[in-house]
Amino acid sequence: ASASEWASKSIYQLVTDRFATSTNSSTPCDTSQRTYCGGSWAGITQHLDYIQDMGFDAVWISPISKNLDGTAYGDGYHGYWLTDLDTTSSRFGTAQDLKNLSAALHARGMYLMLDVVVNHFAALPQNSSSSSLLSTASKTSLTSPLGDLLDISINFPDLLPLSKEADFHPACFIADYTNQTEVEQCWLGDEKLPLPDVNTEDPDVVETLYKWIADMVKEYGVDGVRIDTVKHIRRAFWEGFTQRAGVFTLGEVETDNATYAASYLGAVDGVLDYPTWYKLIMAFASVSGNLSAIQDAPSLPSLASPPSSSPSSKSQPILTGSFLENHDQPRFPSFTHDVALRKNAMVWTFVGDGLPIVYYGQEQGYEGGGDPSNREALWLSGYKSDKPGVALLKTLNGVRKQAIKANESFLATPARWITQTEPSTIMLSKPPLLTLFTNVGANDSTYQPTWRIPAGLYAPGTTLIDVLACRAVAVGSGGNETSAVGGVVSEAEGAGKDAAREKKKRDG
């Protein structure tokens, strides 16, 4: 599917090994062991009702290729430690199971997003004596701009289908993240677990990877790809990769710098909105968080506000992926116990310009900290549908779909901030939605957020629905402003024009 076709979707991101088993829902899973817990593609297929009932219509799964196990950091249960690009991991089932998952999603009108890694493989260093950092005159002279080289021995024939030493960049670990050449051509990982960096400067290697993605998309009916480690390969590589993928590509560029992240747009169809994520965490992790940082920060271009220098060759829109949690970062509830802050942060993903992405387990209130604690087995939750998180996500997915239906230019209309006079409050307008965020928290019992709705935003007399509290609010006819209290609002069907309105309040 193209970026245009993805624009109205809502993505549920899961870790294949941790979402569902196909057999035993009481299988224990100790995340600290960093090993397989038994989730599989067949398990996902059996639990699509659970995902779809919350309103999601796309599923992002872990990388599918065979991985390295038995390392100093455990096994490749997450899928990012490739050893054999062309063979699917038997830990997640058979290739047929994966095709069945794809077919089952399509039968429901849902999309499959595949996570792909082409920047590196993973390999155990061959002997420990050679795994220390050594600068050797001969090697250093080969790639002097990259600094110290490593004397590290890798058994390259173990890596498929790139099995020659020359298929990889010379060994050096990335140390200086401000040196772009180093970021692109040195290795991720460390001496205990090096991630040999693919020589994406070599035309034969490039063609192998391009052919691989084209085949993969075709073979498994893939609708879109999430691309790992985008900043670790030169931009021009991704242009060709995206073309050959032939479907929507969403890149991971881990940075808090919006300009840097945006520099990959056009080479890939979209990037994950990491720059806003950093601000979001700062804003809602505590009641003293800096809320206006979100408002003041430069934001990524998006479908609603395309880059000014949009490459004319590119007819597809730019889609930014909005998220609150993922498999690399501590889950949001690990930062705060405050239910109001948690709720406000969750709303963000759905009411702005980005494609909503929700990390599995958020709906069940999972609280795991950093990797690997944030990769809990979902079956241990019992997939309960009566959790507040499930209800909230269902509402938010519903609101977004409703907004898309009510206003055909919703997706293309840039969200804009409306300045509020009250402290700890910010308001975002993306017609027909209007959202009031606050980080005042649940403990201030005197605080009632007040809506200051600018004149002209909605016609007087319009009925707005507070979608979180589920009640109607009328827009005043007399003055310039209307004050309403609490909740999320969306315009009642048929009342006035294309407005649904949204408002956010602290947890009731």
List, in order, residues 6 or more apart from 413 with CB less than 8 Å away: 304, 407, 430, 431
Whole-angstrom distance, CA of residue 500 vs CA of residue 508: 21
Q: Is 204 noted as a catalytic residue in this protein?
A: no
Which of the choices Ca ion, ligand ABC, none does residue 255 contact, using the CB cut-off of 5 to 8 A by kind?
Answer: ligand ABC
- As measured in angstroms, the least distance from the Cβ of 393 to ligand ABC is 22
CA–CA distances in Å: residue 404 to residues 149, 184, 392, 408, 500? 53, 39, 18, 6, 10
Q: Which of 57, 252, 367, 502 is catalytic?
A: 252
Closest CA to 477 of 501, 502, 453: 453
- As measured in angstroms, the least distance from the Cβ of 69 to ligand ABC is 13
Q: Binding of Ca ion at residue 232 (CB under 5 A)? A: yes
Task: Enumerate binding residues for ligand ABC (CB under 6 A).
Answer: 73, 78, 80, 117, 177, 188-190, 193, 228-229, 231, 252, 254-256, 327-328, 371-372
- As measured in angstroms, the least distance from the Cβ of 328 to ligand ABC is 5
Q: Binding of Ca ion at residue 199 (CB under 5 A)? A: no
Closest CA to 197 of 210, 216, 181, 213: 181
Which of the choices ligand ABC, Ca ion, none does residue 197 contact, using the CB cut-off of 5 to 8 A by kind?
Answer: Ca ion
From 232-240, 359-367, 435-443, 444-452, span contacting Ca ion (CB under 5 A): 232-240
Which of the choices Ca ion, ligand ABC, none does residue 73 contact, using the CB cut-off of 5 to 8 A by kind?
Answer: ligand ABC
> Which tokens belong to 299?
């934001």
Which of the choices ligand ABC, Ca ion, none does residue 501 contact, using the CB cut-off of 5 to 8 A by kind?
Answer: none
Q: Which of 57, 223, 228, 338 is catalytic?
A: 228
Q: Binding of Ca ion at residue 353 (CB under 5 A)? A: no
> Which tokens belong to 29?
């899973």
Which of the choices Ca ion, ligand ABC, none does residue 328 contact, using the CB cut-off of 5 to 8 A by kind?
Answer: ligand ABC
First to last CA, the chain: 40
Which of the choices ligand ABC, Ca ion, none does residue 372 contact, using the CB cut-off of 5 to 8 A by kind?
Answer: ligand ABC
Pattern 261-280, Ca ion, x by CB under 5 A: --------------------
Closest CA to 273 of 320, 210, 223, 235: 320
Q: Is the dihedral of CA 253, 258, 259, 265 positive or negative?
A: positive
Whole-angstrom distance, CA of residue 482 vs CA of residue 473: 10
φ and ψ at 18, to 5 degrees?
-120, -5
Q: Binding of Ca ion at residue 231 (CB under 5 A)? A: no
Residue closer to ligand ABC by CB (options 59, 500) is 59
From 81-89, 126-134, 176-184, 431-439, span contacting Ca ion (CB under 5 A): 176-184
| Lookup result for tokens 């990877």 | 209
Q: Is 228 noted as a catalytic residue in this protein?
A: yes
CA–CA distances in Å: residue 418 to residues 132, 204, 207, 296? 55, 52, 49, 12
Closest CA to 451 of 468, 434, 465: 434
From 193-201, 237-245, 331-339, 399-407, span contacting Ca ion (CB under 5 A): 193-201
Whole-angstrom distance, CA of residue 459 vs CA of residue 482: 11
Whole-angstrom distance, CA of residue 151 vs CA of residue 131: 7
- As measured in angstroms, the least distance from the Cβ of 97 to ligand ABC is 22
Give catalytic residue positions.
228, 252
What are the residues binding Ca ion (CB under 5 A)?
A: 119, 184, 197, 232
